[in-house]
Structure 1
């Protein structure tokens, strides 16, 4: 049985990109998947057949295409993994479950709004003053200002 824990967000995005380039019927036909009503991945306003996208994402992750019956057999855990990867998954009956938060602590907070931070001015390094040089021997003068070699 296929496990989908090795499938990353990038693998799913690769599968979605191929789905977009081939079109639904072409994508399903190339990989031998049948249209599956019910579970779907929603990404950037488009809906994708969950078993087909996840099966192809599994291929990108492991080199082996996950058969449709394996994906459908573990659809609940597959949907959970996709939510953890940040995808929205619709369930049968049109219900939509948003992507899960990474921890329970952040799930209770209100959504964060991003506001631009005020930039703090950077301190520029001030160049060190050039050391005083003895006009006779060209040595650096000590703090007294009197050359130790020439006196």
Structure 2
């Protein structure tokens, strides 16, 4: 049984009034997070996950944060739609750019390369010059210049 099965339409309407009284966006700063699903009601837009969390608090005494809602903002959207509310999905589009191919591994042709008996030589990892440890003078332990001769000791 989902946590949001305990809310009904009256709980959501009271949550909308609570949202309006608290100042909406400022209320979300307290609750933490912003939903990607927007509840539309009487020409106003509301954060669907926040409204569902507040409605759950009215129904059970335990207010849910968007992170506590099963399925996140999509789960809240489903519960609110079930109660007859209109919800708009503002989720970002997929990361794949239209007109591009997805990266898939190349298909192998049936021939496999014979394993050689000698292991391949591995390339040493490159290290940036700034990440290399400084060479120190063995006498005074000051970093040596590029010449490798200590200016203090010689």
Name the TM-score class by shorter chain. 0.5 to 0.7
Structure 1: where are the runs of 5+ without partners? 95-151
Aligned length: 92
**1:15: which partner in 2?**
15
Deviates more, 1:20-29 or 1:41-50: 20-29
Q: TM-score normalised to the size of structure 1?
A: 0.53
Deviations 1:38-84 (A, max 9, x none): 20100001000111111011000110011221227343333222112
| Structure 1 residue ranges, 4+ long, deviating more than 4 angstroms after superposition | none
Structure 2: where are the runs of 5+ without partners? 93-154
Please give the residue correspondences for 1:2-151 in structure 2 after superposition, counting only pairs within 5 Å: 3-30=3-30, 32-36=31-35, 38-71=36-69, 73-92=71-90
Task: Report the CA distance shift for 1:2/1:66 in structure 2 as closer, same or farther (over 3 A).
Answer: farther
Task: Report the CA distance shift for 1:91/1:34 in structure 2 as closer, same or farther (over 3 A).
Answer: same
Aligned partners of 1:93, 1:62: CA distance in 2, in Å? 29
Task: Report the CA distance shift for 1:93/1:74 in structure 2 as closer, same or farther (over 3 A).
Answer: closer
Aligned partners of 2:75, 2:56: CA distance in 1, in Å? 14
Deviates more, 1:64-73 or 1:45-54: 64-73
Deviates more, 1:70-79 or 1:48-57: 70-79
RMSD: 2.3
Q: Is contact 1:40-1:47 (8 Å) kept? A: yes
Kindly state the Cα deviation for residue 24 of structure 1 after the two structures are TM-superposed. Answer: 1.5
- What SS does structure 1 have at the residue aligned with 2:46? strand
Q: TM-score normalised to the size of structure 2?
A: 0.53
Aligned partners of 2:76, 2:21: CA distance in 1, in Å? 24
